[in-house]
Every structure is written in C-alpha cells, then in structure tokens.
Amino acid sequence: MNSAPVLEVDGLKTVFGTRALAIHAVNDVSFSLREGELLGVVGESGSGKSVTMMSLLRLLPSPPARIEAGRVMFEGQDLVQLDDAGLRRVRGRGIGFVFQDPMTSLNPVFTVGFQLMEPLRTHLGLDRKAARKRAAELLALVGIPSPEARLDDYPHQFSGGMRQRVMIAIALACDPKVLIADEPTTALDVTIQAQILELVKDLRRKLGMAVVWITHDLGVVAGIADRVIVMYAGQVVERAEVEALYENPTHPYTRALMETLPGVDGARGQRLRTIAGQPPILTAPPAACPFAARCAHVHDRCREANPPLFEVVPGHAAACWLASPESGARNVL
C-alpha cells in the first residue's frame, strides 16, 4: 500500500502529573497512517496504546496530562497546536473515536437517536428531519435491525454488541477520514467480537477510511491489520507489515508476546507461558532499554542506553541493540 499518509505522528511525548512528580506515559512515539490502511497497535495493559491515541485528539484531561513534545499532522494542521475550536472541528468530522466501553461513552439519559443526530447537526448543519433520516441510515449501516424504531430507544435497551455498533455509527456519522478504535471488542463474547471485526472490515472497504485498531490481542491483529506497531513502556519497540511481524518477530518483547498465545495443538493441561517481571514505572524517560529487566537476551549495552528503531529490512524496524547494523547477534532473535 503506497498511498499518501493521512495522519503523521512525530516525536509525541505525553506526561501525567507535576514537574516534581511525573509519569512519562508516551515517550517519543512516531508513526504514520496511510489512506485506507488498518494499523494495529498492540501491547500489554499500561504500554501507552490508549494514551497515545487519546493524545492525538487531546482527549486527556489537562491537568494532569500534558503533551511535552511532538507533532500530530492531519490535513496540513498540527493538532498539538490547534485551538479548541479547531479541535472540535476535527473531532468527529475528521477523526472518529470508538471507546472501549460503550456504557460509559453513551449518555444513559438521551436516546440513541439524539446522540447520533447531535454530531450531524453540529458538524454538518443538518436540520432535525434530515439528521434523523441519516441517523437511521447509520444504524442500518452497522447492522442494527429496525433502525428507524430503535432511534427512540435508550442505551440500556441495547445489548453490549449492539451498543458497540451504535458507538461505531456515531464515530462514522460525519464520514471521518480516520477511525480510531480503542479495544472496542474487549468486553464482548467471542461471537460478538467476530461480528464487530467483520463489520469494521466491511465498512473500511465500503468507505475507504483509514483505521487505527488498539488491542492487546495479537490474534485479532493478524486477521485485520495491514501494518502493526508494538508498544512497550510508552514507546514503539517494533513496527512492520503484519505478515513480516508474524513471520519474523524481531524485538524480544514481540517474540515473548507471541509465545504467550495459547496454541490449538498444545499439550492437554499445559500451562500458558507468561512474561516474567513487571513493566518499569515511568517516572522518567527510560535511560536504558525499558525491557532489559525482563529480556532473555539482555547484555551490558541494554542497561546503558535505550536503543532507537533500527531497520531490520525495508519496512520492518525494531528498537533493540541486537537488531542494530553493527550487531552480530541478530540470529539469536
């Protein structure tokens, strides 16, 4: 896929707290998203996936959160520098966001129709009749039966899977160029998860939008993504085309994540593998490799300096000293 980037993130740093006591949640994250592409963002809980994506639209409360550095370029504008009015124009209309839990994202005292119509009237200037017609079309688009009648229902009258479809419909209301989905299937059973994944793949084909899919589930990424970035301790440790990542996971953290996946042909009763140790507490930007304390391939340089992303092959990079051009140890990975 060689289309131009629709979203470019360069050197993003997000911090929580005061200057005296701060958590460096996002550390120098850079990536791009091309038109029509689905980018998977994977990592453990606390790796910085959601904070990074919420930082793009400045959805984090400030204080305690603040963006210390970086650019987020969308349609020729740096979203980090944009004023509040400009951000409101981008949110929803340019970039849609689907949050993890629809019950906390949907307002329980307003009908689904009202919540669908609000962005249509605010961003597109539709009158009530036109907005209602478009809202029903959106519910139909995401596979909700009897969409006209269901506009007058409240969120609690929908199942978990249907509420997530409503959230996707709201995010799509103004035909955004980019859809960011923050683990939207985590709380759903596997059957509903599969339906939501098929829905997003179908909508992507129909609408041609770019998608960022945040997840901790490597199996989900394998089935839907074009490219993947792996995050650990607030930074990108590996990025690659999806096939290349699964054929040759280069960073020890990526390989360890894949080894924790349950196998379909494993021995009966075999215990699942885990990654020993805990992620670091990020009270300062990592001076050494943040994975060093948990890595089976650690050596002295890992404890002295945090490696940059080294290109292993074109389009595939890993932030590991064993992947550096001068290292003779690539074969151990």
CB 318 within 8 Å of CB 297:
no
Higher-confidence residue of 103 and 294: namely 294
DSSP string, 44-87: -TTSSHHHHHHHHTT-S-TTTEEEEEEEEEETTEETTT--HHHH
Other beta carbons within 10 Å of 80: 17
Alpha-carbon distance 297 to 254, whole Å? 13
Higher pLDDT, 202 or 52: 52
Q: Give me the CATH topology for the region 5-94+174-261+271-332.
A: Rossmann fold (3.40.50)
Give pLDDT, residue 188. 73
Please report the pLDDT score of residue 7 as a whole number.
Answer: 96
Residue spans of the domains in the chain: they are 5-94+174-261+271-332
- Which has the closest alpha carbon to 6: 232, 208, 245? 208
Give just the sign of the alpha carbon dihedral 169, 171, 172, 178. negative
What's the rounded Cα separation, in Å, for the pair 313 and 329? 16
Residue with the larger pLDDT of the pair 281 and 130? 130
Position 193 confidence tier, pLDDT thresholds 50, 70, 90: confident
Contact between 209 and 179 under an 8 Å Cβ cutoff? The reply is yes
Distance of CA 274 to the CA centre of its chain: 23
Asked whether the predicted pLDDT for residue 86 surpasses 80, the reply is yes
How confident is the model at residue 216, as a pLDDT? 86
Per-residue pLDDT at 197 exceeds 50: yes
More confident residue, 160 or 135: 135
Q: What's the rounded Cα separation, in Å, for the pair 164 and 300?
A: 47
Question: What local confidence, expressed as pLDDT, does residue 33 receive?
Answer: 96
Sole residue written with tokens 């603040």: 66
pTM, two decimals, is 0.90
Is residue 111 within 8 A of residue 146, CB to CB? The reply is no
Residue type, 92: G
Tell me what the mean pLDDT of segment 149-175 comes to: 92
pLDDT tens-digit readout, 124-134: 999 999 999 99
Give me the half-sphere count of Cα atoms (radius 13 Å) on the Cβ side of residue 329: 13
